[in-house]
């Protein structure tokens, strides 16, 4: 008997807008929210009003909401193209009800719901890395938190520069059409980006006092040329003075560009603000051009952390629509405790033109957990790491290396926006 079945006092069900304050109370408490419930609701309601409440799930115990989750319906760039992805969010269990199987029951039901709606993937940002592996999610992307201090903000002399590009520092609302245009192009191909609907831009540009903290208002720097906008940075500044000089900071919420010279122009602007000493980026792709344009890349201080966790909700469906970097043939024995329809043996035959995946009784080449496939799906986390750690089994020598070569992607995944 599972932990969920042992208890009888709570049930899992759908929810609606009227119940949202009770839901937000649980997630706020579970996530140690700094703000009171009214502030949380003011910020959260516009997004959820646009996204809808029909995918919320709650666990209810004697009339009290004790557990919650929800998912957004994203269109996310994945290897193989832009695909529908369930963006799982709002997970929380009331502190007196933790470790009784509430989350496990919510996850089980949510996976079934996503599958029933035709979904093949789920993605999330985890508050803690130890939570989601058991539910079949794998750590699929790492991103970097970077900080650069003067004088190491210098770019290489041969960084590409385009005299026809013009930059303007402006109010984010005025810059919105240009930012949308750039982001639309980025989201069409950058592994891990989701198409940003208007409600996500509103959230992104929301500039409430509690979001500013000790920093100034959000501003936009847009770079454009004769062909239209080529890139933008959204940032805030922090003024700071010591007896020996100015130590202001530039905090970059996001920076995107669609042409090499635009990256140079954006970084030259961010790195040249007077009265500043440090520029901070909470999220950059592991292969962001900054690491190549910096005159001394070792002085770009970097902390790496997991961003997207990916879950294959439909293993044959997901593998058959992925793109493949090299031909591969393998029988995979997949374990999946929370989505049992995936469990079993799958024969994968793939090459650059596509893939065929079908159930088989043949002997497996590799036995692995569905979370390993999720981790590897974006092409950044090799399965060979799990093999070396003894967490998957290779029956046919070399099978894991061949599968890794086929799963390879030349670009690093990047989401950059916690949802």
Ligand X SMILES: CC(=O)SCCNC(=O)CCNC(=O)[C@H](O)C(C)(C)COP(=O)(O)OP(=O)(O)OC[C@H]1O[C@@H](n2cnc3c(N)ncnc32)[C@H](O)[C@@H]1OP(=O)(O)O
Which active-site residues does the annotation give? Answer: 132, 419
Phi then psi for residue 116, to 5 deg, are -65, -30
Report the residue number, 90 or 416, with the smaller CB distance to ligand X. Answer: 90
Name the token pair of 100: 């009784």
- Closest separation between CB of residue 274 and ligand X, Å? 40
Report the residue number, 60 or 349, with the smaller CB distance to ligand X. Answer: 60
Is 99 annotated among the ligand-binding residues?
A: yes
- Prior bond to 151 cis, omega within 30? yes
Residue 168: count other Cβ atoms within 10 Å of its Cβ. Answer: 14
* Secondary structure (DSSP) of 274-297: TTEEEEEEEEEETT-THHHHBTTG
Is 385 annotated among the ligand-binding residues?
A: no
Is 328 annotated among the ligand-binding residues?
A: no
Is 91 annotated among the ligand-binding residues?
A: yes
- Closest separation between CB of residue 415 and ligand X, Å? 13
Q: Do 129 and 138 meet the contact criterion of CB atoms below 8 Å apart?
A: no
User: What b/e string do you get for 402-416 counting C-beta neighbours within 10 Å, with b at 16 or more?
Assistant: bbbebbeeebbbbbb
Name the token pair of 303: 């902390």
Name the token pair of 323: 């793109």
Residue 194: count other Cβ atoms within 10 Å of its Cβ. Answer: 20
Report the residue number, 93 or 252, with the smaller CB distance to ligand X. Answer: 93
- Closest separation between CB of residue 112 and ligand X, Å? 16
Is 383 annotated among the ligand-binding residues?
A: no
Report the residue number, 121 or 232, with the smaller CB distance to ligand X. Answer: 121
Residues that bind ligand X (CB under 6 A): 3, 30-31, 88-93, 98-104, 124, 126-128, 130-131, 134
- Closest separation between CB of residue 124 and ligand X, Å? 4
Name the token pair of 17: 């807008």
Binding residues for acetyl-CoA: 91-93, 99-104, 127-128
Residues annotated in a binding site? 91-93, 99-104, 127-128
């Amino acid at each position: 008997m599972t932990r969920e079945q042992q208890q009888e006092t709570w049930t899992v069900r759908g929810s609606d807008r009227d119940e949202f304050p009770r839901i937000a109370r649980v997630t706020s408490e579970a996530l140690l929210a700094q703000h009171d419930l009214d502030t949380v609701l003011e910020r959260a309601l516009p997004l959820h009003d646009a996204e809808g409440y029909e995918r919320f799930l709650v666990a209810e115990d004697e009339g009290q909401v004790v557990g919650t989750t929800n998912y957004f319906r994203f269109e996310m760039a994945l290897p193989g193209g832009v695909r529908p992805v369930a963006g799982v969010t709002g997970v929380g269990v009331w502190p007196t009800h933790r470790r009784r199987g509430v989350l496990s029951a919510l996850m089980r039901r949510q996976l079934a719901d996503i599958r029933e709606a035709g979904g093949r993937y789920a993605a999330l940002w985890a508050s803690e890395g130890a939570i989601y592996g058991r539910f079949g999610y794998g750590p699929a992307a790492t991103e970097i938190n970077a900080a650069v201090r003067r004088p190491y903000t210098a770019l290489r002399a041969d960084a590409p520069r385009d005299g026809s590009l013009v930059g303007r520092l402006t109010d984010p609302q005025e810059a919105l059409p240009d930012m949308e245009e750039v982001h639309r192009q980025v989201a069409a191909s950058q592994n891990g980006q989701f198409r940003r609907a208007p409600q996500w831009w509103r959230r992104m540009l929301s500039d409430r006092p509690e979001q500013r903290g000790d920093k100034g208002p959000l501003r936009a720097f847009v770079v454009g040329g004769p062909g239209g906008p080529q890139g933008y940075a959204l940032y805030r500044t922090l003024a700071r003075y010591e007896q020996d000089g100015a130590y202001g900071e530039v905090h970059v919420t996001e920076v995107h560009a669609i042409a090499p010279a635009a990256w140079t122009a954006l970084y030259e602007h961010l790195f040249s603000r007077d009265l500043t000493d440090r520029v901070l980026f909470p999220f950059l792709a592991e292969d962001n051009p900054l690491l190549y344009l910096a005159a001394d890349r070792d002085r770009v201080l970097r902390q790496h952390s997991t961003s997207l966790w990916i879950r294959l909700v439909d293993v044959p469906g997901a593998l058959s629509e992925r793109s493949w970097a090299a031909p591969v043939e393998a029988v995979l024995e997949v374990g999946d405790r929370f989505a049992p329809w995936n469990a079993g043996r799958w024969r994968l035959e793939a090459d650059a033109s596509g893939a065929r995946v079908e159930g088989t009784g043949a002997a497996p080449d590799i036995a692995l957990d569905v979370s390993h496939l999720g981790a590897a799906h974006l092409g950044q986390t090799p399965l060979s790491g799990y093999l070396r750690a003894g967490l998957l089994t290779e029956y046919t020598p070399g099978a894991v290396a061949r599968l890794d070569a086929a799963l390879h992607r030349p670009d690093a995944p990047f989401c950059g926006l916690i949802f």
